[in-house]
Structure 1
Amino acid sequence: MRNFISILVILGMLVACSTNSSEKKDNKQAANPIQTDTLLQQVKSKALEVVKTGFNAGDGYGEVWIRDYNTFITLSAQVHPAQTLKENLRVFFRLQGKDGNIVDGFIPQQKARQTKNSYAYIFTELEPQYAGHKNTVETDQESSLVQAVYKYSQATSDTAFLQEKIGGISVAERLEQSMDFLLKHRYNEKYGLIWGATTADWGDVQPEHDWGVYLTEDTHYAIDIYDNAMFLIALDRLMSLLPAIKTKWQPVRDRVATNAMKHLWDGNNQKFMPHIYLNGSPFPADFDENQIFYHGGTAVAIEADLLSKEQINISLQKMIENVKQAGAATIGLTLYPTYPEGSFKNKGMYPYGYQNGGDWTWFGGRMIQQLIRHGFKKEAYEQLKPMLQRVVDNNGFYEWYTVDNKPKGSGTFRGEAGVLYEAITMLENNAAIGN
């Protein structure tokens, strides 16, 4: 009898433990909002739909831009054949300059000839269908192409593309030539960093011209964190694609990373300096540019593994505080505080306009990705939600948003769709909230 009672007691304990375990599991799932948030799936579905419709940056652009394509090629791989994605990459290589430089984007030649704007279109014998254009104030086209080829390879497992020859030169060689271009034509020996024109954070508009996308005799050359972080990411991806070249490029990578933190990181203020000027500043002498915090460049620097976890957390807190002070909606806020009225001849670069403090999910989404990658999952989810909500509220992926959260620019901005889809996927794959 005693044995029978003991067996009953043990069975009861086992049932209780099983019930408690099941309840704990159910409670844990119920407490995890990522698994029940329908907004995530809504935005993912919308993102897939928008990339099905093409490869130009958005409905306001006729061109396929490499800086944009780099941020949605992975998503496009879910809805387009690999051959289509690869052909877009081939066009960039066919339009590559003899010095290795990469164009910003391409457009059908017929449209290029009909377009009445100031682009000096680029034509090559290798590319009979498309014309290219290059905003020479930037220094991210080459880095963007390397990153895009890496993402294509990861998404499709097509490594044979690297050995395909275009104009008698393999894709692998052309990728190296693009990196060589930066070292030969955009590298400053004094600082050991690459340079471009003065722009607002990651932007492509210099202050000295009404349009501002071309280097001119009035250009003030400068070094910033965005260009160098993009270069570092490109070198990492290049060495991953082509391990045999690591002996050449790893020392370059290490040198640029060290110099970026040595010369651009302001340890006292725990932020990156906006610019190191090589021939003077375009702004008044009494303007303290170092008060400005660059959100986009900081996010890309984190992707380049330049900041520690503590520095990432400090940067996030600064971004959140900037959003509060500006009255903006998300940490996609390009920069804060803004450049004063009249700092740029381009009329669209007014305070909180376009790249001068406009709110761009295209970069805010990249910061979300990096928060997840470095273990700030709860913070990432909190900062992501307003970015997702406005996609649904406005029924589109808009290029940028005003300080009071009004949509501006293209409503089918595929780069935004790409970075949000990736951020959501990363959250879902790391669904447990907490650090």
Structure 2
Amino acid sequence: MKPIYSIYLFFFLLAACQPVESRRSTEELAQKVRENESITFTKQKARDVVKTGFNAGDGYREVWIRDYNTFIELAAELYDPAELKENLLVFFRMQGDDGNILDGFTPREDTIVRYDFTYTDMAPNYAGHKNTVETDQETSLVQAVYKYIKATGDQSILDEQIGDMTVAQRLEAAMEFLITNRYVTSHNLLWGATTADWGDVQPEHGWGVDLDENTHRAIDIYDNAMFIIALDNLMEMIPSSRSRWEVVRDEVFKSCRKHLWDQETQKFIPHIYLEGSPFPDDFNENEIYYFGGTAIAIEAGLLSVPEIEHSLNEMVKRVKEAGAPSIGLTLYPPYPEGFFENQIMNPEYSYQNGGDWTWFGGRMIQQLVRYGFLQEAYEQLLPMTERVLENDGFYEWYSINNEPRGSGTFRGSAGVLYVAIQQLEEALANQ
């Protein structure tokens, strides 16, 4: 054989072998996923949990929109679409005249005195409430309607008449509420109260869920990434809305990169304060890494593939430093004890101040799958599915020692893990 042909043959065989190795690796990973007891158990347990209701979990009577948004895809496999649709329509019936969307609703007889409830003649059987420190209720509802349409194919929901407006018009009204009431033109970003990453507890109050005279307004990545996702969903559902919202979406996207992404440290800064910080002057908040907000930013398309890889490595590193169970860790390092008046945020590694939440960790797994990090997705998924198996179910959050805390049968966790597993299986099957 002539030397030139030997060289061609060598490179041909080399190229041919690489896909075989890749396929073998993919097949081995797919087999691990299929045969893993905790993954199989988690999928079935998630179905069992979500088929029992729509409230967030055992500790909550309400149907919360930020939770419903994260298990509606699984619910679509288990319920008649009409039932899913009705839950969504209640939020529109209880929508404020200014376009705002409530956190959740509950039957009137189940109300808890501590909330300031809202009532409306369009939904006489329900009481609603809103944690005003948040800026994600409106965006969560847009995303939930989008997922409902994708899962059921039922676009008729957009034409449903609620009062004098259609659902499509009300979706846009919800986005207009954010522009009118939560948009900072100096930064072209949304603001909310100071909270720990995606949380709903501000530091200045013992309960901490309502804006008041003590609130320190701040801009963070979670609220704005949710806004970008919602606007993308809205423009796909209602193409005629593109002329209104595309410029806003692009401006917010650019501003997230300009004002919130720290290029030097390759992480998002926790907050931009509009009237000063609630924390001591000598406290360096930028040392804190926000896990959940980063995951949602990746979902919004704000990070490149190399930046996603760096973010994952940073999460894994900080989880190890904290001694935490999984990349569901809310943040690290936690805010020092005493920084929040609500005692559930103290001591460190409690609740949203360093607790481990599958509810967001599962969403990071989904993004790892989306961007092709399949082996990494499998590795980071296992700590979450293994504790589902160990504890025979889903909990709201976990301690630094991996002990279950908060509400049981937490449907948001069930929903995001189920979708993450489903997406991983589909990605491996399509390799």
* TM-score, length basis structure 2: 0.93
Amino acid at match of 1:292: I
Distance 1:285 1:30 in 2: 53
How far is the alpha carbon of 1:433 from its aligned partner? 11
User: Alignment partner of 1:86: what SS?
Assistant: helix
2:201 counterpart of 1:205: yes
Distance of aligned partners of 1:285 and 1:28 in 2 relative to their CA distance in 1, 3 Å threshold: closer
RMSD: 1.8
1:260–1:27 Cα change, 3 Å: closer
Is this contact kept in 2: 1:399–1:411, CA < 8 A?
yes
**Letter aligned with residue 73 of structure 1:** I
In the alignment, structure 1 segments of 5+ residues that lack a partner are 1-21
Match of residue 293, structure 2, among 278, 293, 297:
297
1:248 aligns with 2:244: yes
Is structure 2 residue 180 aligned with structure 1 residue 180?
no
1:410 aligns with 2:407: yes
Q: Report if aligned partners of 2:38, 2:388 keep a CA contact under 8 Å in 1.
A: no
Mean CA deviation greater in 270-279 or 38-47? 38-47
Give the alignment of 1:108-187 within 5 angstroms.
108-112=107-111, 115-117=112-114, 119-187=115-183
* CA shift for structure 1 position 25: 8.3
Report if aligned partners of 2:262, 2:268 keep a CA contact under 8 Å in 1: yes
Relative to the length of structure 1, the TM-score reads: 0.92
String of CA shifts for 1:314-370, please: whole Å, max 9, x gaps.
Answer: 110110011000000100000000000000000000110000000000000000000
After TM superposition, list the pairs within 5 Å mapping 1:2-401 onto structure 2.
29-30=27-28, 32=30, 33-112=32-111, 115-117=112-114, 119-350=115-346, 351-401=348-398
- Give the match's secondary structure for 2:428: coil
Contact 1:29 1:35 in 2 (8 A): no
Counterpart CA distance in 1 for 2:368 and 2:109 is: 44
Number of matched residues? 411
What is the deviation of 1:30?
4.8
1:384-425 Cα distance to aligned partner (Å, 9 max, x none): 001000000000100000011000011100000000000000
Give, in whole Å, the separation in 1 of the partners of 2:282 and 2:80.
Answer: 54
Change (3 A) 1:31 1:92: closer
CA contact (8 A) 2:34 2:40 kept: no
CA shift, 1:281, in A, is 0.1
Structure 2: runs of 5 or more not aligned: 1-19
Letter in 1 for 2:39: L
| Identical residues among aligned pairs (%) | 61
Separation in 2 of the partners of 1:164 and 1:217?
39
Secondary structure at the aligned position of 2:345 is classed as: coil
Residues in 2 aligned to 1:358 and 1:228: alpha-carbon distance in whole angstroms: 23
Residues 57 and 68 in structure 1, CA contact (< 8 A), matched pair in contact too: yes
Q: Which has the larger radius of gyration?
A: 1
Q: How far apart are the structure 1 equivalents of 2:84 and 2:390? A: 31
Spell out structure 1 runs of 4+ moving beyond 4 A.
24-28
